[in-house]
A and B are shown apart, each in its own frame.
Chain A
Amino acid sequence: MLLDAFNALMDIWVLVAAVSGIVTGIIIGAIPGLGPTMAIALLIPVTFTMSPIPAITLLLGVYQGAIFGGSISAILLNVPGTPSSAATAIDGYAMARKGEGGRALRVALYASVAGNIFSCLVLIVLAEPLASFALNFGPAEMAALMLFALLVIVLFGGGVRLDAALMVLLGVFASIIGLDPIEGTPRFTFNSFAMENGLQLIPVLVGLFAMSEVFLKLFQKQSSIKEPVDLPKIVPSKVRFVDMWRMRATLLWSSLIGTFVGILPGIGSTVPAFMSYGLARARSKQAHKFGQGADEGVAAPEAANNAVTGGALIPTLALGIPGDAVTAVILGAFMLQGLAPGPFLFRDYGVEVYAIFEALILSSIPTIIFGLLLFKVAVHVIRIQPRHLFPTITVLALLGAFSVNNSLVDVWVMLGAGFVGFLLRRADFPLPPLLIGLILGTPLEQSVRQAMLTSNGSLDIFWNSGIALALLGLTAISILISLCIPLLRKQRQQKGSSNV
């Protein structure tokens, strides 16, 4: 299978797609506010005429490139291009102020590649066995799994849990609009034939992540950056293999954290980046150097946030459960290419999927080459004014929404989703739970109703299945943990204050 997949990669278009994706990703990632989610959502129409392997390679290249691109502005300007690079900015910016910006960027690049390769290897090892195991799942097991995934997003996704719960429910409700998955009854379509297809994923996410950003920028016009950005001088420097080898334990731990936190739905890459930064500082013999420009302070979060890529793809591809907003978009791209993520993906499209995994590993080479070539160019992208950039995003959003089904209804849906997304973001509600709720809503309803119909309304179907019971047990444990953590923190704080 791996050899067949490698043969499928021997196509010039795969290389062209990987390079274009990485270059685009690095440039877009360097612009604060334009993360990988928006970049991938806007680039999906470009992949319509491409075959699945180059199409997905291009989008994953954008993902890889954008995460590294985010660290460029974080290191040189202390302005994280993506939220996950905020941890990189702590030591990266300190290094840049000392004139070691070039070194910090190189450390970030090599650590990113190390994290990516590690997580892709885990992805190759774990995804297919997980998918094969999921082939045993019936409706009760699937329902329990979806419930567990949605609860993990609410409990551990960060932020206010009630807000996340409300967003998940809103996403699930959005998935209800259209034809009922079991009986085919129209629901909340307001007698519109066009709405019977429901809210399509791509127009909704283009609206939520691209159009809402345009509206936010319009709202905050006064606070846009007007003064010229001062960039620190990048002095030529070298990071040798030995320098990275010395950090091997940090890189390994950070990659492990990134990969395994990435597997959990809804947590994203910011949490593992800070977790691995904290661990690297705790393990270091020179902990005092952290915050003042330590190599490991840059390497740890970068390895972790890139390792999330492979980790988040494991549940996305094996179970159809996206790990975060970016993988939700990638899931949409897989579906548009006819590769429906889930347990049958590896059975039906094994060669294509393994080719994509191998492309993800091999694209580390162009990432290094173009990362080194481009970081001096990419920093100038930060100077682009929003008033020049956002009109282009508006045009691309209109095209992106239209091109999915060549339908104007989708463009209206995109506009509506954009305005709703703007309102929700202004009100500090998190959008990724909404998107994941939208994706998981239909399979959740389908499996719950199938389970209840086959058992004649008896809940025994859940108790009689070992897998469903284990998943419900995990759900209960997750709720308990999430309740205990704040209590333990409170106790610790009380102990600390009484000791003082």
Chain B
Amino acid sequence: MSGNLSKLWANSGLQSLVCLMLAVFAGLGLWTLDTQVQVFSFGDSLFDARFFPRIVLGLIIVTAILCCVARIKKADDPVGPLTGWIRVLLVVGTLIWALWFMPSVGFLISSFIAASATALVLGERNILLYIGLPFLVATLVTLGAQYGLNIPLP
């Protein structure tokens, strides 16, 4: 048992981490099911609004644990270089910022900042291509959406 556990620990990587996260989230979902899904039924019914989520969350926990156990036999992919994660998180952070301020600064500015950050983080160092090109694309898309497709962008 302890041998299997140490083998699992040694082989664990991103896949095991994701499986574990899914199992934990599904566990939390099951734990909070009664507060998240309030049922107001007059009779006792097994097949109420909690019936299906209960089965699905239970199955997710079982399958995620089985996925983790299956990793005992073979090594997982490594989590990957920290710089890669930082690059992704930088753009995710910029996108969150852009979305947060989109109602006040508008779609054009927000999408331009998001696109410009993506270009910069991807390694573009030519100012024309990390400022000019994203601005041109954002402007064309915004104008096309507002006047061509009648989409009321913020």
Residues of A within 8 A of B (CB): 45-46, 48-49, 160, 162-163, 165-166, 169-170, 172-173, 176, 180, 182-183, 185-190, 214-215, 217-221, 224, 386-388, 390-392, 394-396, 398-399, 402-403, 406, 408, 411-412, 415, 419, 422-424, 426-429, 445, 448-449, 452-453, 457
Per a CB cutoff under 8 Å, which of A214, A445, A452 touches B118? A214
| Contact in complex: B49, A187 (CB < 8 Å) | yes
| Contact in complex: B15, A188 (CB < 8 Å) | no
Contacts of B10 in A (CB 8 A): none
| Contact in complex: A395, B114 (CB < 8 Å) | yes
| B141 interfacial contact with A, CB 8 Å | yes
For the complex, give the distance between the alpha carbons of A218 and B41 in Å: 50
Contacts of B99 in A (CB 8 A): 408, 411-412, 415
| Contact in complex: B60, A169 (CB < 8 Å) | yes
Would you list the 9 A-B pairs with minimal beta carbon distance, nearest first?
A391-B115, A387-B122, A180-B49, A219-B84, A185-B49, A387-B124, A445-B52, A427-B18, A391-B119
| Contact in complex: A169, B49 (CB < 8 Å) | no
Would you give the shortest CB distance from A3 to chain B, in whole angstroms?
A: 33
Per a CB cutoff under 8 Å, which of B29, B46, B51, B111 touches A398? B111
Q: How many A-B residue pairs have CB under 8 A?
A: 182
Q: List 14 A-B contacts (CB under 8 A).
A: A160-B70, A185-B40, A187-B53, A188-B37, A218-B87, A386-B122, A391-B116, A395-B111, A395-B137, A399-B145, A399-B153, A402-B151, A428-B77, A452-B47
Residues of A contacting B: mostly: helix
| Contact in complex: A45, B60 (CB < 8 Å) | no
| Contact in complex: A415, B96 (CB < 8 Å) | yes
| Contact in complex: A169, B56 (CB < 8 Å) | yes
| Contact in complex: B18, A429 (CB < 8 Å) | yes
| B8 interfacial contact with A, CB 8 Å | no
Contacts of B148 in A (CB 8 A): 49
For the complex, give the distance between the alpha carbons of A163 and B71 in Å: 11
Would you give the shortest CB distance from A34 to chain B, in whole angstroms?
A: 15
| Contact in complex: B60, A166 (CB < 8 Å) | yes
For the complex, give the distance between the alpha carbons of A426 and B80 in Å: 9
Would you give the shortest CB distance from A227 to chain B, in whole angstroms?
A: 15
Per a CB cutoff under 8 Å, which of B17, B92, B151 touches A45? B151
Residues of B within 8 A of A (CB): 14-15, 17-19, 22, 26, 29, 36-41, 45-49, 51-53, 56-57, 59-60, 63-64, 66-67, 70, 77, 80, 84-85, 87-88, 91-92, 95-96, 99, 102-103, 107, 110-112, 114-116, 118-119, 121-124, 129, 133-134, 137-138, 141, 145, 148-154
For the complex, give the distance between the alpha carbons of A189 and B150 in Å: 30
Contacts of A392 in B (CB 8 A): 115, 137
**Could you list 6 further interchain pairs (A-B, Cβ under 8 angstroms) beyond the known A162-B66, A395-B111, A408-B102?**
A187-B36, A391-B119, A395-B115, A395-B134, A403-B145, A423-B18
| Contact in complex: A395, B141 (CB < 8 Å) | yes
Nearest residue, chain A, Cβ from B95: A415
Contacts of B51 in A (CB 8 A): 449
User: With A219-B80, A428-B77, A452-B47 as given contacts, are A166 and B152 in contact (CB-CB < 8 Å)?
Assistant: no
Per a CB cutoff under 8 Å, which of A166, A180, A183, A395 touches B138? A395
User: With A388-B133, A448-B52 as given contacts, are A214 and B91 in contact (CB-CB < 8 Å)?
Assistant: yes
